[in-house]
Amino acid sequence: MSANTKTRVAVIFGGRSSEHAVSCVSAGSVLRAIDRTAYEVVPIGISTEGGWVLAVDDPDQLVIRDGKLPQVDATRPAVVLPGDPTARALTVFDESQPSGALGEIDVVFPVLHGPYGEDGTIQGLLEMADLPYVGSGVLSSAVSMDKAHMKVALAGAGLPVCDYVVVTARRWKTENAAVRDEIAALGWPVFVKPARAGSSVGISKVKRPEDLDAAMAAAQEWDPKVIVEATVIGREIECGVLEGVVGPDGVQGPPEASVTAEIRVLGDREFYDFEAKYLDDSTELTVPADLDEAVAAKVRALSVQAFEALSCESLARVDFFVCADGSVLVNEVNTMPGFTPVSMFPRMWAASGVDYPTLVDRLLRTALQRRSGLR
């Protein structure tokens, strides 16, 4: 703990992924919610090029305004976080003055979505620095980010997942006919997705074989590894999971699941893409979801099972398809779900009795209780 009476928390946001703006909006909400009587906040922005800067502690700059997406100001003073457990101090570099230390950090809240933030990369740096942080560790973050490996891990733990085909850049070039046959066997339409991207970027719904090439090219712009999924006719249901709290006896409790929520895409949109999530009114979000009690209980139980199957820590949002016959399929697990004002994760927990400031505080406290790294 730092010498002063407040816990020093570095809130890191932005990043190089396609979800840069979403991360900024999430961070703005977190900055607004943090209890400043208990925490001293150091906002760190990562530009779209990957530069680390000391950001302005102003949540109002991190909002979507008139359709304009926020982004990290790359002209701010540069910051370095050394991956050195003997030196937790952040160092700031400003051309107008000598470089200097910002002081030690007690805990990090990496509000980063997508590659280079939610995929184990920054988690590895924080492990090297022996810094506690909010979110899952290196392996869990990496596996959950890769939809193909995530499905293998979930299925291996006995959880139900939809049918899919993994297409690497090599297979698409050297085994093209065989790959097309495998995709056709899924049945049309199919969803073509980058394996390691988020916010529904690069995703296409393909209704006929002749449209497959364009969809593959769109996905490969974001990731050379592509996953093609069979269409599931069902309701899109989500559930939040939080790491169990440590009791007075020092024993950690089991993970907890929130109430469920439902996403319905309206109008002409075919699926829940980036624009539907953040830029227009083409979705209807229902919290809690209007589900049969037994089905809701099944979703909540599977959420916890998925959380543990992937060795998640801290938090996760688990997405499902619930079919008309009551069967449930796990779609994906997000280890750093959106924290924007309209994001499902905080909304589900608010409906479960944990408001936004309490949620942020709980995440920081559990991160501080959990030791980093191996001994």
Tell me what pLDDT residue 342 has: 80
CA atoms of 143 and 312, how far apart (whole Å): 10
Tokens of 237: 């249901």
Determine the Cα angle at 104 with ends 3 and 30, to 5°: 100
Residues 60-85: what's their mean pLDDT?
Answer: 91
Tokens of 324: 């008309």
Residues 115-144: what's their mean pLDDT?
Answer: 95
Percent of the chain with pLDDT over 70: 91
Residue 113: name the closest of 242, 39, 22 by CA. 22
Whether residue 271 has pLDDT greater than 80: no
Tell me what pLDDT residue 198 has: 72
Cα 2 to chain centroid, rounded: 29
Tell me what pLDDT residue 280 has: 53
317 phi and psi angles, rounded to 5 deg: -115, 130
The secondary structure of residue 37, as a DSSP letter, is T
Q: Please name the residues in contact with 164: beta carbons below 8 A apart, sequence gap of 6 or more.
A: 148, 151, 186, 227, 228, 229, 230
The secondary structure of residue 372, as a DSSP letter, is P
CA atoms of 169 and 123, how far apart (whole Å): 27
Separation in Å, CA 338 to CA 198, 199, 277: 11, 9, 10
Whether residue 274 has pLDDT greater than 60: no
Residues 138-142: what's their mean pLDDT?
Answer: 97
Separation in Å, CA 297 to CA 253, 292, 302, 331, 342: 19, 9, 9, 17, 24
> pTM for the full model?
0.92
Residues 279, 282, 288, 292, CA torsion sign: negative
Whether residue 273 has pLDDT greater than 80: no
Residues 115-121: what's their mean pLDDT?
Answer: 94
CA atoms of 290 and 324, how far apart (whole Å): 13
Give the containing element (helix H, strand E) for 305: helix 293-309
